[in-house]
């Protein structure tokens, strides 16, 4: 294994502890990425996940990586090794997947980009624990069982720290963040489409500040 899973897990642990929320960003116009990321960083949110759901995503990651001081930009919706390669080339510092597949995990083993893999069941969590993963994304968090399910896993799977993502809002985030096995949450509410479209950077900075205050 060319890149130690343990080293990558430590990198993920650090990233997940930077702020209570990792914004999950869907961006259609790469030109908006830099001012958006600067607003998030100014509000106290340095780790930013830009999802590969739009053609602008890789350009947006590249721009943030090159131009936004203090930002730790990650890539979301990673499905295969090619996605990992493209994201690393663009300057991403971590990767997030919606689920797991044997091929993706094999590619991640050989890759320097730390992967935060998505899981929805205890069995998936156990199989990743066997491979050395202690930091997992719980997705889709609310439809898959929410804070109650994560709370139930805390006792039998105490080694794992989760970033629940999917259906979480400012109002429901505290229920997750109060759990001993939750390091942070992922949320799309910090960069809503209307604020991106209207270039409301002050509004996004305010949403970031509200998110940081969740663990104050």
Is 69 an active-site residue?
no
Nearest-10 Cα torsion for 156, 95, 12, 20: -80
- Selecting among 49, 124, 195, 215, the annotated active-site residue is 49
Is 137 an active-site residue?
yes
| 213, two tokens | 């205050």
- Selecting among 137, 148, 205, 215, the annotated active-site residue is 137
According to the 3-state scheme, what is the secondary structure of 82-116? HHHHHHHHHCCCEEECCCCCHHHHHHHHCCCCCEE
Contact (Cβ atoms closer than 8 angstroms) between residue 136 and residue 118: yes
Q: How far apart are alpha carbons 64 and 30 in whole angstroms?
A: 9
So which residues are the catalytic ones? 49, 137
């Amino acid at each position: 294994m060319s890149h130690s899973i343990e080293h990558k897990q430590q990198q993920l642990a650090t990233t997940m502890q930077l702020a209570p929320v990792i914004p999950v960003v869907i961006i259609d116009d790469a030109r908006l990425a830099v001012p958006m990321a600067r607003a998030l960083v100014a509000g106290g949110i340095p780790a930013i996940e830009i999802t590969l759901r739009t053609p602008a995503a890789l350009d947006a990651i590249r721009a943030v990586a090159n131009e936004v001081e203090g930002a730790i930009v990650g890539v979301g919706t990673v499905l295969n090794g090619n996605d990992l390669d493209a994201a690393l080339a663009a300057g991403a510092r971590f990767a997030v997947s919606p689920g797991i597949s044997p091929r993706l995990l094999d590619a991640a083993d050989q890759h320097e980009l730390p992967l935060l893999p998505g899981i929805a069941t205890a069995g998936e969590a156990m199989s990743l624990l066997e491979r050395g993963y202690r930091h997992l994304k719980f997705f889709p968090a609310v439809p898959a069982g929410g804070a109650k399910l994560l709370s139930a896993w805390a006792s039998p799977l105490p080694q794992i720290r989760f970033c629940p993502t999917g259906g979480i809002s400012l109002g429901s985030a505290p229920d997750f963040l109060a759990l001993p096995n939750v390091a942070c949450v992922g949320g799309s509410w910090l960069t809503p489409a209307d604020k991106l479209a209207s270039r409301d950077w002050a509004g996004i900075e305010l949403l970031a500040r509200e998110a940081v205050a969740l663990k104050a």
